[in-house]
Amino acid sequence: MEFVLYEVKGQVGIITISREKALNALNSAVLDELDKTLDAVDLDNVRCLILTGAGQKSFVAGADIGEMSTLTKAEGEAFGKKGNDVFRKLEVFPIPVIAAINGFALGGGCEISMSCDIRICSDNAVFGQPEVGLGITPGFGGTQRLARLVGPGMAKQMIYTARNIKADEALRIGLVNAVYPQEELMAAAEKMAAGIAKNAPIAVRNCKKAINDGLEAGMDDAIVIEEKLFGDCFETEDQKYGMAFFLDKNKEKVKEAFKNC
Ligand code: DAK
């Protein structure tokens, strides 16, 4: 891969978008490599992913404006679909994905972070949806996911004004969960990912599915989705070991059992 790096630390996979000279902007090649990287994740071993950008300055500075500038209508639609397909793959990926946002997260960069389950950022991070200044609408789900995350009023303000916001404001409006000094960001992401990875893996996956699917349904249907995924746990070793060892009061054994589930 030329633009996407992947490494596994324990049960955590780290995907780094690495196109530093263009501030990690997303061109077709990056999107193709991201897609292939996700397909290759070993889900028998890896329990949580971290997505970040190379360098100290930018997470992802958006879709590649140079590549987009000459697109025809049909090509624009194809580019939008390529991005949307990868972003959706991340969103419904069976295991949790943490975005470790280490700088600019503009346009497609903000959008890809919103396809992840959890966002944490460095103190120099900058978020925004600058598309209307470029004569386009957000095209990788920004109009949809931003409104769901921070509410329609704040999403509309950010999108209509194209104004960037800094890390502290992103925290205040709930776009990110936490802000860290740049040099501490990856350690914090890895610690959170390891904390997720040590829990019962099928239960974690079912929680992700229940939250995602439930948010797309009305409450009556959402509760049924939760009931079904809760019920499914009772056919797993996760539940049998988890409860048996809890009742035995043997916490170390629980940890070991989950590690090998
Ligand atoms: N695309 C391509 N190259 C980019 C880029 C981008 N988004 N952002 C930065 N670069 C490149 C710069 O051109 C520059 O390259 P060289 O000139 O060195 O060759 C290099 O990265 C360093 O950038 P700067 O020199 O500009 O660095 P500064 O520190 O001065 O400024 C900046 C950093 C992030 C404030 C600035 O680079 C900037 O404003 N970048 C553009 C940010 C932006 O507007 N992003 C949103 C892009 S629009 C759709 C599908 C997708 C989308 C929309 C529709 N459908 C198909 C419907 C998505 C749209 C977007 O994401």
Q: What is the per-residue pLDDT across 115-150, written as a single tens digit (0 to 9) for each?
A: 999 999 999 999 999 999 999 999 899 999 999 999
- Mean pLDDT score across all residues of the chain: 95
Region 107-116: mean pLDDT is 98
Q: What is the pLDDT of residue 246?
A: 83
Element (H, E) at 16: strand 12-17
Of 126, 151, 129, 147, the C-alpha closest to 138 is 129
Residue of 77, 91, 131, 190 with catalytic role: 131
65 C-alpha vs ligand 1 centroid, how far in Å?
A: 6
Give the global pTM. Answer: 0.95
Element (H, E) at 51: strand 48-53
Residue of 33, 67, 111, 237 with catalytic role: 111
Region 245-260: mean pLDDT is 77
> Residue 119 forms beta bridges with which residues?
99
Give the whole-angstrom CA distance, residue 160 versus residue 261. Answer: 48
**Residue 128: which residues within 8 A CB-CB, separation 6 or more?**
105, 106, 107, 110, 158, 162, 163, 164, 165
Alpha helices (H) along the chain: 28-40, 65-69, 73-91, 108-114, 142-150, 152-161, 167-172, 182-197, 201-215, 219-233, 237-248, 251-260
Active site residue 77: no
Q: How confident is the model at residue 24 (pLDDT cuts 50, 70, 90)?
A: very high
Q: How confident is the model at residue 252 (pLDDT cuts 50, 70, 90)?
A: confident
Cβ–ligand 1 contact at 108 (below 6 Å): yes
Q: Percent of the chain at pLDDT above 70?
A: 100
User: Which has the higher per-residue pLDDT, 80 or 7?
Assistant: 7
Region 24-49: mean pLDDT is 97
Region 105-118: mean pLDDT is 98
130 C-alpha vs ligand 1 centroid, how far in Å?
A: 10
Element (H, E) at 119: strand 118-122
29 C-alpha vs ligand 1 centroid, how far in Å?
A: 16
Q: How confident is the model at residue 244 (pLDDT cuts 50, 70, 90)?
A: confident
Q: What is the pLDDT of residue 20?
A: 97
**Coil, helix or strand at residue 102:** coil
pLDDT at 22 over 80: yes
Residue nearest to atom 51 of ligand 1 (CA): 139
Give the whole-angstrom CA distance, residue 101 versus residue 119. Answer: 7
Among 1-5, 19-23, 211-215, 234-238, the range scoring the smallest mean pLDDT is: 234-238
Q: How confident is the model at residue 256 (pLDDT cuts 50, 70, 90)?
A: confident
Q: What is the pLDDT of residue 76?
A: 86
The DSSP code for 4 is E
Q: What is the pLDDT of residue 23?
A: 98
